Structure 1
Amino acid sequence: MRKHVKYIFASGLFIYAVAWLFHVIFQTTLFPNPNTIIMISMRDFNKFVPHLPVSGYRILISMSVALIVGVLIGLLMGVVPSVKKILNPLVYTMYPIPKIAFLPVFMLLFGIKDFSKILLIVTIIIFQFIIATVDAVEAIDNDILKAAKIMKVPKNSMFMNVYLPLYFLIF
């Protein structure tokens, strides 16, 4: 634990030194004095505190939705080839697009309340879950799947009794 504290402290000092170096070299408002940033952050900290629970709520809901939906879609794509054939182009087309570009569209469609912000975070995260899940399902050893078929595991329970547990074992 103490080793990690040393690294965190050293990283903070390094970031501070780089910020101070940029401030001294460029002498511009683009790189403000790190001391000024620290003082203003400490002075205005009480203004940030009321917003932390709301941001935490949005992140928690977004991560939960993205995890559940992303893993389910990824499992479906990994198990059913026709679903992968249909969704794979969409996933790999949407994945590299900067998701912040969707914020104005989401705000116009859903307003400026929490839903548009939660939807944006879900859109940012869900593709990582989908791609990782598809890769994990495809990495499942065929011998295990053959063993399940030999044991006559019904097709409708393969998803819950074979693929899902093996998916979590890979991670």
Structure 2
Amino acid sequence: MKRRDLLLATLALLVIWEILAVLIHRQILPTPLAVLATLGTELLRGNLTLHFLASLWRVLASTLLAVLTAAPAGMLLGQSKRLNDLFSPVIYLLYPIPKVVLVPIVLLFFGIGDLPKIIIIFLILFFQILVLVRDSAAGLRPELIQSVRSLGAGRRALFRFVYLPASLPAVLTALRQSVGTAVAVLYVAELFATQRGLGYYIYLNGSTLFNYPAMYGGVVMMSLLGLGLYFGVDLLERRLCPWKTKS
């Protein structure tokens, strides 16, 4: 997508926001300019920055953990029909469950702090990556694998030169699909047992302090967090999978 198109879309959203704010004319919907002024003040004070960094750390830690565990597991299941037949019923049962409903349970077992938030996001990303990588590895043509084996390649070489490159697009696709859900669940998770994070910041300013410009500033920062992760995945895809982006 071209930068010009993104800029025009952003300007269109700001114009619509401004029009709605003027029409509604209530404190619950401040103008974009008022929100941006408050956002700048909060960032300069460092208050909002700390909440943003807390949320960013949770998302990045859970994403890294999910990739390091789900990608190898998906490749293994894709290579082994026996293991796939064994674990497929479990995956089939757990994959469709909305992981956000597990937030109270995870909090009960792991208490407060970063760990329960990381676990919740990890669960979302894990199953997305696992299923897509498994299907990608299982869909490799047998003659391709046989040709590599005929050259003397063992399991380690197959993993490095066949399964890993073939599965990278699936990993990145899973991340791209999960970014929005992960950030949404992060917001819900940060409503409980914490005093750090954008979710807590948004809720505190909107429902307790009634500082609506600050609340919308938190929403903007959480949106930027999701967009940054999404564009980061796009950048990784261009670097790691250049054959996909070539026309």
Moved more, 68-77 or 30-39: 30-39
What is the CA RMSD across the aligned residues, in angstroms? 2.5
Q: Is the 8 A contact 1:137 1:163 kept in 2?
A: no
- Percent of pairs with identical residues: 21
Name the structure 2 match of 1:112.
112
Name the structure 1 match of 2:162.
166
**2: distance between equivalents of 1:77 and 1:136?**
10
- Alpha carbons of structure 1 residues 168 and 18: separation in structure 2 relative to 1, 3 Å: farther
1:3-152 equivalent positions in 2, closer than 5 A = 4=3, 6-24=4-22, 31-45=29-43, 46-150=46-150
- Alpha carbons of structure 1 residues 81 and 15: separation in structure 2 relative to 1, 3 Å: same
TM-score of the superposed pair, with normalisation by structure 2: 0.57
1:121 Cα deviation after fit:
1.3
Q: Deviations over 1:66-90 (max 9, x none)?
A: 0011112111211122221232233
**1: distance between equivalents of 2:92 and 2:32?**
40
- Alpha carbons of structure 1 residues 98 and 33: separation in structure 2 relative to 1, 3 Å: farther
Question: Which amino acid in structure 2 is aligned with residue 129 of structure 1?
Answer: I
Structure 2: which 5+ residue stretches go unaligned? 170-247
TM-score of the superposed pair, with normalisation by structure 1: 0.79
**2: distance between equivalents of 1:52 and 1:17?**
26
Question: Which amino acid in structure 1 is aligned with residue 89 of structure 2?
Answer: P
**2: distance between equivalents of 1:126 and 1:44?**
34
SS in 1 for 2:140: coil
Q: Is the 8 A contact 1:58 1:118 kept in 2?
A: yes
- Alpha carbons of structure 1 residues 27 and 52: separation in structure 2 relative to 1, 3 Å: closer
Q: Is the 8 A contact 2:21 2:31 kept in 1?
A: yes
Q: Is the 8 A contact 2:99 2:123 kept in 1?
A: yes
Q: Is the 8 A contact 2:145 2:162 kept in 1?
A: no
**1: distance between equivalents of 2:5 and 2:74?**
36
Bigger radius of gyration: 1
- Alpha carbons of structure 1 residues 74 and 49: separation in structure 2 relative to 1, 3 Å: same
**2: distance between equivalents of 1:29 and 1:100?**
31
1:134 Cα deviation after fit:
0.9
SS in 1 for 2:101: helix
**1: distance between equivalents of 2:76 and 2:24?**
53
- Alpha carbons of structure 1 residues 67 and 73: separation in structure 2 relative to 1, 3 Å: same
Moved more, 28-37 or 125-134: 28-37
